[in-house]
């Protein structure tokens, strides 16, 4: 991925292959490395303490929704987070979020926080159409997080 990013004229940085801290701290680490024309790559399995009563979706979908809710996405950024096995505690691998996700969210009158608090990110992304659906990949290495800033 780093080589391909550089072929495309982007800087690329792997910030971690062992991202295991709390989800909000992992997001801070990823987004603090953001620069113009850069691809930030991270892998691991950030921690989440899921409420006893919860909805549908896994760590990757939750992390993507948290990035939206915390307004980490800007007009020039795209954030992708997915489970390498293709199954983020559901049939979705993860999600892609960008400025168009915000537009769809507003148009559909969706409140991120309600879905976050209920650990119910799957229905949110089902409504916006931003889920990544790969099916089972047969591999389970780590979750992958990619932040692209193309300005």
SS3 per-residue string spanning 36-88? CCEEEEEEECCECCCCCCCCCCCHHHHHHHHHHHCCCCCCCEEEEEEECCCCC
Calculate the average pLDDT of the chain.
93
For the 2-149 domain, the top CATH level (class) is: alpha beta
Distance CA 63, CA 76 (A): 19
- Lookup result for tokens 């987070």: 81
pLDDT of residue 54: 74
pLDDT of residue 72: 93
pLDDT of residue 150: 86
Residue 25, pLDDT > 90, answer yes
pLDDT of residue 121: 95
CB 54 within 8 A of CB 121: no
Q: Where are the domains of the chain?
A: 2-149
- The pTM (predicted TM-score) of the whole model is 0.92
Distance CA 115, CA 18 (A): 27
Q: How confident is the model at residue 120 (pLDDT cuts 50, 70, 90)?
A: very high
Distance CA 145, CA 129 (A): 19
Distance CA 63, CA 80 (A): 10
How is residue 4 written in tokens?
């391909």
**pLDDT, tens digit (0-9, with 9 covering 90-100), for 38-71:** 999 999 999 887 777 778 888 999 999 999 999 9
């Amino acid at each position: 991925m780093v080589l391909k990013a550089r072929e495309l004229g982007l800087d690329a940085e792997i910030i971690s292959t062992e991202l295991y801290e709390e989800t909000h701290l992992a997001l801070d680490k990823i987004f603090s490395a953001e620069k113009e024309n850069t691809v930030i790559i991270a892998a691991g399995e950030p921690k989440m303490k899921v409420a006893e009563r919860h909805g549908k979706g896994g760590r990757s979908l939750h992390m993507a929704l948290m990035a939206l809710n915390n307004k980490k996405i800007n007009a020039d950024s795209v954030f992708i987070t997915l489970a390498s096995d293709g199954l983020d505690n559901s049939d979705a691998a993860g999600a892609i979020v960008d400025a168009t996700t915000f537009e769809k969210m507003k148009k559909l009158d969706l409140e991120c926080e309600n879905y976050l608090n209920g650990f119910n990110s799957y229905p949110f992304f089902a409504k916006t159409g931003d889920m990544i659906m790969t099916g089972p990949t047969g591999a389970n290495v780590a979750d992958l997080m990619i932040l692209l800033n193309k300005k």
